[in-house]
Amino acid sequence: MLAPLGLACLWFGTWAWLALVALAAGGLAVEWVHLCGRRALTPAGLAVPLAVLAAGGTAAGIAPGPALLVLALGTLLVWLLAAGTPGRTAAPLAAGVLYIGPAAIALIWLRADPAAGLANALFVLLIVWASDIGAYAAGRMLGGPLLAPAISPAKTWSGAAGGLLAAVLTGLLLAWILLGPPVGARPALIGGGLGLVAQLGDLLESAIKRRFGVKDSSRLIPGHGGLLDRLDGVLTVAPVAALLALPLDRGVIIWS
Query: What's the per-residue H, E or C state across 135-148?
Result: HHHHHHHHCCCECC
Q: What is the pLDDT of residues 70-99, one digit of tens each?
A: 999 999 999 999 887 765 678 889 999 999
Check whether 2 has a pLDDT greater than 90: no
> Which has the closest alpha carbon to 174: 198, 194, 199?
194
Q: What is the mean pLDDT of the chain?
A: 88
Confidence class of residue 222 from pLDDT cuts 50, 70 and 90?
Answer: low
Q: For residue 172, what pLDDT is reported? A: 93
Coil, strand or helix: which one is 44? helix
Q: Which residues pair with 158 in a beta bridge?
A: none
Read off the pLDDT of each residue in 39-67 and give the average, rounded to a whole number: 88
Check whether 161 has a pLDDT greater than 90: yes
Read off the pLDDT of each residue in 135-157 and give the average, rounded to a whole number: 85
Read off the pLDDT of each residue in 186-193 and give the average, rounded to a whole number: 94
Check whether 64 has a pLDDT greater than 90: no
Q: Quick one: how far is CA 44 from the chain centroid?
A: 23
Percent share of the chain, pLDDT over 70: 94
Read off the pLDDT of each residue in 140-160 and give the average, rounded to a whole number: 85
Q: For residue 38, what pLDDT is reported? A: 87
Percent share of the chain, pLDDT over 90: 54
Check whether 151 has a pLDDT greater than 90: no
Distance CA 216, CA 122 (A): 27
Q: For residue 48, what pLDDT is reported? A: 94
Check whether 220 has a pLDDT greater than 80: no
Check whether 221 has a pLDDT greater than 80: no
Read off the pLDDT of each residue in 27-54 and give the average, rounded to a whole number: 91
* DSSP letter assigned to residue 62: S
Confidence class of residue 224 from pLDDT cuts 50, 70 and 90?
Answer: low
Q: Which residues pair with 225 in a beta bridge?
A: 221
Confidence class of residue 143 from pLDDT cuts 50, 70 and 90?
Answer: confident
Q: For residue 163, what pLDDT is reported? A: 93
Confidence class of residue 5 from pLDDT cuts 50, 70 and 90?
Answer: confident
> Which has the closest alpha carbon to 100: 211, 197, 25?
25
Check whether 1 has a pLDDT greater than 70: no
Check whether 223 has a pLDDT greater than 70: no
Check whether 251 has a pLDDT greater than 90: no
